[in-house]
Amino acid sequence: MPYWPGAPAQPDGWGPQHGPGAYGPGYGMPPAKRSWTVPPPAGRRFHQVARNEAHRWWRPLAGSLVVAVAGMGLALLLMLAGMIVRIAVTGDVPDPDASGADADSIFGNDTADLAFNLGSLALFLPVVLGAAWLLQRRRPGTLSSVAGRLRWRWMLVCCGLAVLFCVVSYGTSIAAAVAMDDQSGGDEHWVGWSAFLAPAIVIVLLVPFQAAAEEYVFRGWLLQAVGACTLENARGRAGRAFSLVFRTPWPGIVVGSALFTAGHGYTSWGILDIFLFGAIAAWLTVRTGGLESGIALHVFNNLMAFLLPAAVGKLDMEQGSVPWQVVLADVVPMLLYAAVVVWLARRMRLQKVTAEDGVPVAAVSQPLPVP
């Protein structure tokens, strides 16, 4: 319809000589651009959030490879940068033939080594968020929770519970030491503020990012990567049986916890201790619909694990064999923490599945009505 009597069907400048026109072949607003990200599937639990419309069997595999290679590459770049700074400040070149304590040191300083170890793990956090956006075409926030973001109010509640966990865990560790009649810490003493302050600052600043990065990788990315492989299209009897198992979160929990354990240097009962830590954190992630409870537990557990030894001059984590009494002293507080978290999540009616209508991709523009 023309806008005025006798007006041409198409105003000057919108004709064929200018192509289809600024606003397409007809009048109205330009078509909405489709977002790169795809909304999560509706009504799914946390471990299946990555199974969106863009999911293909190769995306979780390619993303896992990218996370591993890019994370280790950034860690290598961080080490090279630290070496350059060390040479520029001290003029000392690392000696590859060094022996004793210097052989295990990267920068010749315990605090600098600690900062590198924590920082190199923290670098996996932006890598895994980028992999979710680039390779799985989803918002990075879907790694945080089924709400598509970190739920900060729930995070604060979990932090309060994690502080109580540390208190209980410290008490059970003392009880375990008494039961074993362990006298190994009898000669330990406070190193003083001058020796403690610098490591403490490094620990407080970097441990939250290091612990969060591990949660996003093992309880976020890996749990959802395995959970996306549901074998829903399997036709055989065996395939349908496997599909029933893979639709549950347990394959992702086991795989993520096993790889999490492999990244530590514990042996004997210590392997069970780390595996149960990862499994409990992953189970809580599924039951609460997000990483908040696992991040809070991991952060405050590591703060206690690093700060207490640093107070007596020990900056390197002692791994290896762990007595079963120590494992029991660790697991009991974790189970209590998990029970309270699940109870509170139920009382607070926390969102545990994705929204039924999904997350809108973009606002759809409609043509303006012509009077």
Domain ranges of the chain: 46-94+101-347
- What was the pLDDT predicted at 290? 98
pLDDT digits (tens, 9 = 90+) for 129-145: 999 999 999 999 999 99
Question: Which of 92-106, 168-182, 193-207, 272-286 has the weakest average pLDDT?
Answer: 92-106
Mean pLDDT of 314-343: 91
More confident residue, 93 or 147: 147
Mean pLDDT of 111-131: 96
187 pLDDT more than 80: no
- What was the pLDDT predicted at 359? 44
Q: How many CB atoms lie within 10 A of CB 343?
A: 10
- What was the pLDDT predicted at 91? 75
pLDDT digits (tens, 9 = 90+) for 221-235: 999 999 998 877 767
- What was the pLDDT predicted at 363? 38
370 pLDDT more than 50: no
- What was the pLDDT predicted at 238? 77
Q: Is 139 left (phi over 0), alpha (psi -120 to 50) or beta?
A: beta
Q: What is the DSSP string of 308-366?
A: HHHHTT--S---SEE-HHHHHHHHHHHHHHHHHHHHHHHHTT---B--TT----SPPP-
The model carries a pTM of 0.86
Q: What is the DSSP string of 179-242?
A: HHT--TTTT-----HHHHHHHHHHHHHHHHHHHHHHIIIIIIIHHHHHHT---TT--SHHHHHH
195 pLDDT more than 60: yes
- What was the pLDDT predicted at 362? 37
Residues with Cβ within 8 Å of 78's Cβ and at least 6 positions away in sequence, in order, are 116, 119, 120, 123
- What was the pLDDT predicted at 318? 74
173 pLDDT more than 80: yes
Positive/negative CA dihedral, 205, 211, 212, 213: positive
Confidence of residue 30 (pLDDT cuts 50, 70, 90): low
- What was the pLDDT predicted at 85? 86
Both tokens assigned to 12: 């000057």
Confidence of residue 371 (pLDDT cuts 50, 70, 90): very low
- What was the pLDDT predicted at 366? 44
3-state SS, residue 258: helix
Confidence of residue 261 (pLDDT cuts 50, 70, 90): very high
Q: Are the beta carbons of 70 and 129 closer than 8 angstroms?
A: no
Both tokens assigned to 223: 């749990």
97 pLDDT more than 80: no
Question: Which of 104-113, 134-143, 270-279, 334-343 has the weakest average pLDDT?
Answer: 104-113
3-state SS, residue 290: strand
3-state SS, residue 134: helix
Strands 321-322 and 267-268: parallel
Share of residues in the chain with pLDDT > 90 (%): 66
3-state SS, residue 145: strand
- What was the pLDDT predicted at 165? 96
Share of residues in the chain with pLDDT > 70 (%): 82
- What was the pLDDT predicted at 31? 64
3-state SS, residue 19: coil
Confidence of residue 270 (pLDDT cuts 50, 70, 90): very high
More confident residue, 371 or 182: 182
Mean pLDDT of 189-199: 92
368 pLDDT more than 50: no
- What was the pLDDT predicted at 174? 92
Confidence of residue 179 (pLDDT cuts 50, 70, 90): confident
d(CA 232, CA 244): 9
More confident residue, 188 or 21: 188
d(CA 256, CA 254): 6
